[in-house]
Structure 1
Amino acid sequence: MLLSGRLGQPVAVALADLLPQVSVRVREHPDSDDVGWAQAYTGFMWPQVPGPVAFEWVHAMGAGVDDFVDHSSQIGLLTRTIGGMPERMGTFVLALLLDHAHHLTAYAEAQRRRQWRPLGPAPLPSRAVVLGTGQIASGIARALGLHGVHVTGVNRSGRLASDFDTVYPWRDIDAALDGCQVLISALPASPATKGIISDTVLGSLRETQFINVGRGSTVDLSALQSALTRGSVVQADLDVFEVEPLEAASWLWAHPQVRITPHVGALSTVDDVVEAIATTFAELARGVRPPLHVDLEGEG
C-alpha cells in the first residue's frame, strides 16, 4: 500500500502494528516507480505522476472523494474515511451558530477598538435547512437537533433520512427554504452540483445565515455576493473553496459579512483513517463489500 499526504507517516506506523502482513510505502510526492509498485493507495489527492496509474483499491483519507472520481476507470474499489467526522462537523456548525447568536465576532472587533458594547444575545435559529443528507450532513442535523433546531434536509430524491425532521427533493427547494433562518451546505463536488447554490437558491432567502462546509464548487460566488448586497444573506461562513488555498485577491477576504476558515470543519484524524483502512481490509479478506465503499457512478 502506498500512502501520501499529511497523515501518511503516522498512519503507516499504526498500520505496521495492525496489519503487519501489508507492505507499506510512504511518499510525500509519489513517482512512477511508487505507483507501479502499489496495489493499493491512500491519500487525500490522486497521485500526479506521468504515465498510466491504476490501483486495485484506493482509500480516501477524507470523506470527500471529488479528486478521485475523475479516475474511476483506474480504480477497482474506492473507499472513504468517515470516523468521527460527522460529530466534529456538527460541533463546528453549532459553534458558528453560537458565535453568531452571541455576537462573539462583534465583541472581538469591539475589543480591538477598545469599545465596551454590550449586545443582547439572539436565540439559536428555530429552523435550519441542510443541503445533503449523507453521513456528514446527518452529523450536522444531530448536533442542531439536540439544541431544539428543526432541521430540514434536501437531497435529489426526497428520500427520508435519519436525524432530519423533514426531507424535500431538490425539485421542491423553494418549499424547503420557506422560513429558512440558516442554510447549510454539505454537498459534494460533482458535475451535477457545480454552481447549484445559485441566485435561484440564494434569492429565495430572507436575512439568512449561510454556511458552506461541503465543497466550494457548489456555490456561485457572484450570486452570493449579490445576496449579501441585498440582504437575503446576512452572514456567510465559508470553510471550503473551489481553489484552495483561497487566492489573496478574492473579494471574500475583505467582506465584512463573510467569515473564512481554512477547510477545518471536520479534519480527518489518524485514528479515523487507520480504523477505516483496517476495517475495510478485514472485510475484503472475508469477501464482503465494505460499507465505506463509494459508488463511483453515483458520485460522478
Structure 2
Amino acid sequence: MTETYFVTGSSVGLGRSIVEAALAQGHNVVATARNPAVLEDLAARYSGQLLAVRLDVTDAEGARDAVRQAVDKFGRLDVLINNAGFSGVGSIEDMPLELIEAQLSTNFLGAVNLTRAVLPTMRARARGRILLVSSIGARIATAGAGVYYASKAAVSALAETLALEVGPLGIQVTAVEPGAMRTRFAEAGSLQVSPFGPAYEATVGTTIGMMQSPEYNNILRDPDGVAAMILQVAALDDPPSRILAGADSFEMGIGSGDARRASDLHWEKLSRSATVEERLLSA
C-alpha cells in the first residue's frame, strides 16, 4: 500500500537514504531540508511522488506549515521520520553555550516541533507512525560527545513517553538508535568541533582525533542499511518504543545495559537506604 512519508534532514546522509528508499518502494515522500534544491535530482525522477519543502526544524510555525503543505499535496501523512540533527564535540566545560543550545534545539526541540505538528492530523485518522532517529549515544557515554548524546537521550526518552500517550490513539512511536554512520561525520556541517583546554587532551582530544582520522570514516557504516531497517520498523504492526540499529549498536547497547544493571546491584544497599522502610528494616 502506498503511504506518505514525511522526512526531516533529507539533504544528505541517512535522511537522503530514507527518502530514496521510500520513493523506490513507491511511497509518496515529503522531504524537508534547509536547502531543498539539493533534492532536485530526485524531484525530476519522482515528480509525482516527491514534495521537497524548505524547513528549519527549530521553527515551530514552519513545521506546521510544512505539514499543511504535505496534507494539501498528498491528502494525508502516514509516517513521520524525525531525522534532522547535527553533532558538536568538545568538552562540556569549554563548549560555547551557543553550540550546546543549537544541538538541543535542533536534535531534540526540532523533533518535538515536528511531532506536535503531525499529531492533530494523525489523531484525526486514529493512525500513524512516528520514528525518531536517536543514537546509541542515548545508552552509552563517550568523552567529548556529552551534549550530543544528551540530546539523543532526550529523544529516546521522548519516544518512550510519547508511545504511552498516543498509542491508545492509534499512533505508534519508535526511537531508532544507530551507531555512527559515514555521512553523519563526513558531510560538512554534520560535525562541529569545539576548542577544548589541555586538561581534556587525553579524553576529549582522543575522541576527536579518532573522529577526524581518515581511517575512521572508512570503518563507519553506510547509511543505506539503517534506512532500510527504518522502513521495516515503519511497517511493523507492533513496533518497540526503542530499537538498536546495527550490529555494533546492538553490542554496545546490550553491554551498556549489563554494566548499568551490575552497577545498580552493586550499590543496591545504598540505594535502598534512601527509603524510610528500608532503614527501619536494617536497624
Q: Report the TM-score range of the alignment, normalised by the length of the smaller protein.
A: 0.3 to 0.5
TM-score by length of 1: 0.36
TM-score by length of 2: 0.38
Judging by fraction of residues, say which structure has more helix.
2
